[in-house]
Amino acid sequence: MELASLSANLLLISFIAYLVATLFFGGAVKGAKSEATYQNNRWGTIGIAITIIGFVSQVGYFITRWIASGHAPVSNMFEFTTAFGMMLVGAFILLFFIYRTPSLGLFALPIAIIIIGYASMFPREITPLIPALKSYWLTIHVITAALGEAILAISAVAGVVYLLKNVDMTKKSKERFWLEAVVFTLILVVGFIVSSTTFKVTGYEAAFTYVDQNEKPAQMVYHYPPLFGMHQYEALTPGAMEPWAEMPAVINAKTLTTFVWSVGTGIVIYLLMRLIYRRPIAMMFQSFAKKANSQLMDEIGYRSVLIGFPVFTLGALIFAMIWAHEAWSRFWGWDPKEVWALITWLFYAAFLHLRLSRDWEGKKSAWLAVIGFIIIMFNLIAVNLIIAGLHSYA
């Protein structure tokens, strides 16, 4: 229990450190008067120092939780998502020392913060591994896949910085619309964090019985007011809100309820921000990208995919297929998670093909990097939580 408590405290320290470091990177970007001072700004130096402290603290969280649980802490949504955020920060630190660009930190760290905040909404208790996960391939496959996705995510960060600098937000255009849509999507994740925290603080719970896919009775506890009910549900909590509709057995109504509440909360937050700012929200962030070197951002985005793609291939496809053969006696089974891993791989393969053979640089490359990250996040959020499959234990 002491190790588990230490692990939680180390994660909190890293979260706070990333928040503080973001402010220093903002100071580095705003305070620089030339490109030379922008790259060697003392605020940026302080920012990267605090980021390293946060990263070391998060590595400490990862190690202590590993010792406390007896297995690699990547077996559920909380553990995997925090590991993903940690690796994203590690990839950023490496690239910062190569390219010395504070703008990357100003956008990479908030994404890592949102990812860690998102992870904290899931159960954090240390539990024994289910039999299906008791394999050394859990460590090899999941950590390698998360590392590959984290490096690929940096390409999206560089892409967002490039687009914020080079898209004219003062004129209505498709580019402005889609860039605003990217910001809107991030706000939806914030909506999930805000709504989950709100109902968690109030201690809301509503228990129901239902009939699962195997036609067996089961129970489920909602932590949001239930908008959708499980198949043949019956309320166990007196006075519980009546669900709007009953879902088929193949759909997780609890997760769908969480999704709708999160989207609704995110939309409200977005509309309030638009009402206060009276302009597209993406314009708020444009000033932080003005001093970024477009060519450098393009290079970072491209090199991140060059490095991340083979790592992702190893972890999400090759190692995954070896483990699948060990566990299920087949290399491939068209499970939803496997299908989306393949879609992700095919997308980045097409990215590299277009970049190398058709000279897709600049805005086209930046948009592809952003779309790739959206595919990764869809795989992490929607496929894991809503679509039933062999990987639903995550």
Tokens of 180: 């605003």
- How far apart CA 92 and CA 154 sit, in angstroms, is 7
How do the domains of the chain map onto residue ranges? 2-169+286-345
Q: Half-sphere exposure of residue 119, counting CA atoms within 13 Å on the CB side? A: 27
The confidence score (pLDDT) of residue 268 equals 95
The confidence score (pLDDT) of residue 299 equals 92
State the distance between the two ends of the chain, measured CA to CA, in whole angstroms. Answer: 23
Residue 238 has pLDDT above 90, yes or no: no
Residues 357-366 have a mean pLDDT of: 84
What's the pLDDT band for 130 if we cut at 50, 70, 90? Answer: confident
Residue 148 has pLDDT above 70, yes or no: yes
Query: By C-alpha distance, which of 106, 116, 24, 114 is closest to 61?
Result: 116
The confidence score (pLDDT) of residue 38 equals 60
Q: Are strands 228-229 and 245-246 parallel, antiparallel or unpaired?
A: parallel
Whether this model's pTM surpasses 0.95: no
What DSSP assignment string belongs to 47-64?
HHHHHHHHHHHHHHHHHH
Q: With DSSP H G I counted as helix, E B as strand and the rest as coil, what are the percentages for the chain, rounded to 5?
A: 70, 5, 25
Which pairs count as long-range contacts for 228-232, CB under 8 Å and 24+ apart, including other chains?
A: 228/253, 228/254, 228/256, 228/257, 228/260, 229/253, 230/254
206 contacts: CB under 8 Å, gap ≥ 6 = 221, 222, 225, 226, 235, 237, 240, 241
What's the pLDDT band for 33 if we cut at 50, 70, 90? Answer: low
206 vs 291, which has greater pLDDT?
Answer: 206
The confidence score (pLDDT) of residue 34 equals 58
Mean pLDDT for all residues in the chain: 85
